[in-house]
Structures are given as structure tokens and as C-alpha cells.
Amino acid sequence: MESRPRRFRVRLALAGALAIALGAAACSNSNSSSSSSASSGSTQSSGTTSSVANISAASLATAKSVAAQIAQQPEDLELGPNPPPITKPIPKGKRIAFLTCASPGCVVIADTFEQAAQKLGWTVQLQTVEATPNAVQVAFDTAVRQAPDAVAVVAVPTEDAPSQLAQLKKMNIPVVVAQSPDVKSGPIIVVLYNHVSANRIGKDSADYLLANGCSAGTTLYVQVAGFQVLVYMISAFQTEYTTLAPAAKIQDLNIAATDEATAPPQIVSAVRANPNIDCIYISSDPMGSGLPEALKAAGITKPVKIFTSAGGQPLIPARSASIAAGAKIGSAAP
């Protein structure tokens, strides 16, 4: 059974392929950071407030209302609010330069994108890029030399390659970006996961956790350092959380992008150091792989609820993932 976190990344990849397909079909007849710390509120919320829950009845009702909306599964996939229909045949034989990070999540997206491209009759020229300005510029230089039909970018900062983007624009080569706060400009025809969607995910996730009893203790927010789009997410999460439950506590934990796959020991250490932690929110779901087992092996027996932005235990349903993709996404039921 495929997990919802993996499906989120699969959908990002498919949405990216669809975005390029839209552009390719339209053109075929013409020319065939680290996060800021989350603060802990100390002021008691107004209204009737439970001393146990640290949240007023009215605020809890608001959170539950949002959580109920999130739980409703959209039935279709849309690229943006008004996706243009594909009215022309999708051309075969296209070459896509695919620039991606090396994290486990990026690997899933890259693998799925290649599968989708294969079904379209396209080839993918994959580059795994380190998160340094020089490495980004070298990767984009390579993409320019390859002169592909389109460029797809996942978790690689396009702001580090302005001259290369200008060259791609002159060459009429479209660029599709996932997981970036960049605004659409130049050759970038769509950003699938930007600051707007990150803000929405952060807010919705805060509501979901509060609706599921996370205001009583401390919520550990586990953040991947170095991704600006995730800074937007934690900021929105923090704002919503402390607005609805000012007395609730949030503790943040920064994990280096290169340590995503080995994050559980660091998370376990944080939970050991603070016995009040009863909820864990993971902003990038690969960090949660094996975490329940690691907590159990460490002798942590108190119930600790684990959430991720795209699924988890308990699950934040697929609508949060659809927000990240900038799209309405079909049912993710097993």
C-alpha cells in the first residue's frame, strides 16, 4: 500500500509533467533557509478556555471546521485555479532537463517524473544539484547547453541562476518549478509549490493539529533547514497556532537537508529532553520514516502523535498535499 506522503510527491511529479505537457501541446504547432524559531505563547487565550487544552471552545471549533474541510477529498486534478485544457495532441520525442535535489523526497519526484515522461514518449536528462550557488549555476549552464524542449526544477533555487534563466527565455524554453518560493517570471511558466501554497499548508496544518488535541502539551515542529519555502510554512503555522491557542507551546528543531533520512535519532533526543512534547509535526515527510519505531526503541511510551504536511500518523488528508501542488488532487484513499 502506497503511503500518502509518497503520493504527494508523486502528484508533484505528475503535475510537473502535466504543466510541461500543456506548454508543449500549446507550442507544438508553432515551432513544434533555515527556519526562524517558532515561539511559545505564554498569554492565556480569551473566552472559555480549558486549562488542560489551552484553547478556547470557539477557537477549537474554528480549528475543527478547517480540519473537516481539509478532510474532504477533491475529485479532480487541476493545474492552478483555471487550468487550460489540452486541446492539441501531446507531441512525442520531447527532451526534458530535470534539475533536482538529492533528498529522499526529491528522488521520489524524479523517479515518478521519469515514469510519467516515458508514458508521454519523452526523455529526461537528470541532474542532481547541490544546494550551493555555484552548483546551481553549473547545472543551469548544462541545461542551456543541452537546449532541451523544457526544464523541470525541484528544490533547486532558481534565484541563483538569473543569467541562465534569461538565456532559456531567449531560447523559448519553458521552465516548470516545484517547491520554490519564486514568483512566476521569465521562462518559468508555473510554480507548483510556492510561498502562497506554503502559507496555506502551514495554516491548515496548525488547524488540523489543534483540532486533534495538540494544544495541551508541546508541539515539536521539525524543519528542514535551508529551504525558504518551508520558512513561509512554519511562519504561517506559528501564526495560526498562537492566534487560536496563545498558551500552547511550540518547539522547533532544524534538520540539515543532508540529514533527512537520519532525522529520527535527533527527533528522539528532542522528545527525551522535553517530556511535555506530545505532538510532532514534520515539514518534510522523509524525516518521519521509522520514527514511531525509533521512539518505541528509546523507551518513549507516552502517546506521541506524529503529523506531516502530506500525511502521517494521524494523517493530514490529501487536500493539504493538493494545496502544495497548486492543484485539486484526486482521492488518495488506499
Average pLDDT across the chain, whole number? 75
Q: Which three cell numbers stand for residue 176?
A: 516548470
18-33: pLDDT as tens digits? 555 545 544 444 444 3
Q: Which of 67-76, 82-91, 95-104, 273-282 has the highest mean predicted lDDT (pLDDT)? A: 273-282
Instruction: Break the chain into its structural domains and give their ranges.
Output: 33-72+196-317
- Return the CATH number of the domain spanning residue range 33-72+196-317: 3.40.50.2300
Q: Which three cell numbers stand for residue 316?
A: 493530514
Order of strands across the sheet with 150-154? 123-128, 95-100, 150-154, 175-178, 188-191
265-294: pLDDT as tens digits? 999 999 999 999 999 998 877 788 888 889
- pTM attached to this predicted model: 0.66
Q: Is the dihedral of CA 28, 18, 237, 157 positive or negative?
A: negative
125-178: pLDDT as tens digits? 999 998 788 999 999 999 999 999 999 998 888 888 989 999 999 999 999 988
* C-beta separation of 256 from 237 below 8 A: no
Place of cell 487565550: 45
